[in-house]
Amino acid sequence: MQTIEKLLTRFDPLTGVIDGEPTVKRHLRDLRDCFADSASYDAALAAGDPLIYSVASVEPANGAGDLQYGLGRLMPGCIGNEYFMTKGHLHSWREAGEFYFGLSGEGVMLLENEKTGESRMVSLRPHQAVYVPGLTAHRTINVGTTPLTYLGVFPAKAGHDYSAMAERNFRCVVVERNGEPVMLERKNLS
């Protein structure tokens, strides 16, 4: 076994904090062009710039076979009728998959096959594990009323490519209809 200092970490599934690890924070201003309703986005931003989500990362090692993980915490809320979400990304190493484990709150993941555009909305809640295959863009969405927290475990070599999805956005959106999340094609939004 190689010598790795960080064999054990302690994470808090409610606050999203991992002791001693860096945390990236994304505010509403960081999510420009993610939401379909740009007028509602501008109005919300004019009223303030709330924290939307944070990700604490643990990188125990960087070898070819190593794993890393992140603890995400996504706040509840909507822009128009579209739920708060993460930016979403592909992996720089496109073949790299990932496991997400729901810890608290009620969420879904939006998965989009990069080649075909086929999209799926998959539940992400406590006691649920979601497998994100390679070549799949993935975004996490809070469809509940409390913070959504989750762990994502991925190959150390995966890398995060945000630019592709920032340019074209996801093909589908997840919006609230009669109190339930539904996935709609972006092009069909009125």
Could you tell me the smallest distance in angstroms from the CB atom of residue 90 to Fe ion?
Answer: 8
Stretch that binds Fe ion, among 40-48, 94-102, 118-126, 140-148 (CB under 5 A): 94-102
Q: Is the Cα dihedral 52, 92, 129, 153 positive or negative?
A: negative
Which lies closer to Fe ion via its Cβ, residue 144 or residue 159?
Answer: 159
Assess 82 for contact with Fe ion (CB under 5 A): no
Residue with nearest beta carbon to Fe ion: 98
Which lies closer to Fe ion via its Cβ, residue 28 or residue 137?
Answer: 137
Stretch that binds Fe ion, among 11-19, 78-86, 98-106, 112-120 (CB under 5 A): 98-106
Return the residues of window 119-138 that contact Fe ion according to CB under 5 A: none
**Beta sheet of 136-142, edge-to-edge order:** 119-124, 107-113, 136-142
Which lies closer to Fe ion via its Cβ, residue 37 or residue 114?
Answer: 114
Q: How far apart are CA 182 and CA 172, in angstroms?
A: 10
- Give CA 100 to chain center in angstroms: 10
Binding residues for Fe ion, total number by CB under 5 A: 1
Which lies closer to Fe ion via its Cβ, residue 92 or residue 104?
Answer: 92
Assess 98 for contact with Fe ion (CB under 5 A): yes
Contact footprint for Fe ion (CB under 5 A): 98
